[in-house]
Structure 1
């Protein structure tokens, strides 16, 4: 089988990765920018570099996405399925980015794979989806909320006798580290997810050994580089939503949110669970902000984000299914 159909799917995967970069760059840098710990350009540069490095530590997540979600048919039918999934996920990313909503690129990708598989009559591995994807993705917002609140409460208690101005200055410096950690975790998760789809396409087209646990190094390098480019392009619409519209963040709260979300991403990657970086950081911001009282949080904005989260799975799945039918007619 020639390389052209496979290369086309790889190109679609990289296009999705690029949108993931500018869509989810706010995950890593919104809090640091909104608290003025980092300038926007320095923040996205730091995030791009950390994303690039983190991608090389996410092979376990790539294996889950590549083999634990659907059973794709061999040959051009499998490539068509992968293409439809990527078109659906990318379209959803662009729609939510245009509205400034921090939806989950991870949910969009998994929903796209599921929707395309159902449209193609292929098997969805519901046991694996539930255990390795749905449960971790449902748990991550709750953990982010609780951990963000707990870390911020601990900071408030530990520095209760220190002048607020000096505490704020110290945490602005600390946010350089916490933002890098958050971006590193984002790279481990999101670059690896796309790498998993690329490996799936290579496998169904016969260019990768079926059942091989090894992720080709060039796949990780390519996905990591494009994710970093997308991150550097910035996601200013979504950054404003996360950093300013949900709550007026101060540097200690930003640090608490970033540390909490990064910890969740690190644990999830170790467990091979592809979770939503968007949900982890957004929930951690809500948790850290709630220590100032419920009125400090703009719940209308949080509700809009919640609707975007709920609609991402079915929305991306529907777009992927429609894409499969369209591509099937053109093939």
Structure 2
């Protein structure tokens, strides 16, 4: 098969990867910036480096995305499906970024894959969709919410007699570590998803076989998501860092460390491609609820949850339209 269609799909994958980076930059650093633990540019640089490193921590998430969700046919038809999937995901990322909503780039990609496959009459592995997308999509925010609440409650109890000023300074320094862990988890999860979709494109195009991931795919996926992260996503950063709840350093540390723990356990332990956005947002809500339930701006949280619910079908519809239009010309 001609290499040009494969190259176009790979460029689309890297475009999605870049939008994933700037769309989800807030996931790693919004809390650290809002508490002034780190300046925005230093935080973005650290997140970019940690995203790069996190991409090399494992390939379990890439394996799940590449083989466990759809089974497109080989040749041009398969490349159309994969390409339309990426168009749907990129479009949804740009729309939610413009609206300042921290939606899931991961579920935009998965929704695009399913939507394009359905309109094409291709195979959707519904067992994989259920066990690897739907179940983690429901469980990970619940775990993030509960763990954030418990970690913050433990911090409040351990430091109940500590001097507030010294405690805040200590946690401001600790946030450097927790933000780095969050960025590593983001690299592990989200760069892995791009690796998986690139390998899928190479496979249906006849340029790859087997389960291995070429080194150039790992390196390019890691570099592009890092560049995207460094470019920043200020609209979403304001939502996560300020609009849900006013965060101080202890709350920021609790949210970041809780979310990072969920990302690593899911990615390394269960091969589950969960949403970094869902995880950090729910963790922020959990730590905020330790003050009082009314301290969380539930109206803002409701808008975020609505974006979560709409992401999968919304990206799927756009991907289906992209496939239909592309099929008219191929």
Give the structure-1-normalised TM-score.
0.99
**Inter-partner Cα distance in structure 2 for 1:194 and 1:122:** 21
Match of 1:315 in 2: 314
> Equivalent residues in 2 for 1:1-331 (5 A)?
1-209=1-209, 212-270=210-268, 271-331=270-330
The number of equivalent residue pairs is 329
What RMSD over aligned residues (CA atoms) do the two structures have, in Å? 0.6
Residue-by-residue CA offset, 1:22-66 (whole Å, 9 max, x unaligned): 000000000000000000000010000000000012311001000
SS of the aligned residue for 1:184 comes to: helix
**Inter-partner Cα distance in structure 2 for 1:27 and 1:318:** 26
**Inter-partner Cα distance in structure 1 for 2:302 and 2:137:** 18
Superposed structure 1 runs of 4+ greater than 3 Å apart: none
Measure how far apart 1:300 and its partner are: 0.7
**Inter-partner Cα distance in structure 2 for 1:73 and 1:164:** 61
Measure how far apart 1:129 and its partner are: 1.1
Verify the 8 A CA contact 1:202 1:208 in the aligned structure 2. Answer: yes
Verify the 8 A CA contact 1:58 1:189 in the aligned structure 2. Answer: no
Unaligned 5+ runs, structure 2: none
Verify the 8 A CA contact 1:72 1:78 in the aligned structure 2. Answer: yes
SS of the aligned residue for 1:162 comes to: coil
SS of the aligned residue for 1:56 comes to: coil
- Closer/same/farther in 2, CA of residues 58 and 112 from structure 1, 3 Å limit: farther
Measure how far apart 1:214 and its partner are: 1.0
Measure how far apart 1:198 and its partner are: 0.4
Verify the 8 A CA contact 1:81 1:116 in the aligned structure 2. Answer: yes
**Inter-partner Cα distance in structure 2 for 1:58 and 1:318:** 31
**Inter-partner Cα distance in structure 2 for 1:314 and 1:82:** 17
Measure how far apart 1:180 and its partner are: 0.2
**Inter-partner Cα distance in structure 1 for 2:95 and 2:281:** 19
**Inter-partner Cα distance in structure 2 for 1:153 and 1:213:** 43
Measure how far apart 1:86 and its partner are: 0.1
**Inter-partner Cα distance in structure 1 for 2:11 and 2:236:** 25
Unaligned 5+ runs, structure 1: none
Give the structure-2-normalised TM-score.
0.99
Verify the 8 A CA contact 1:246 1:302 in the aligned structure 2. Answer: yes
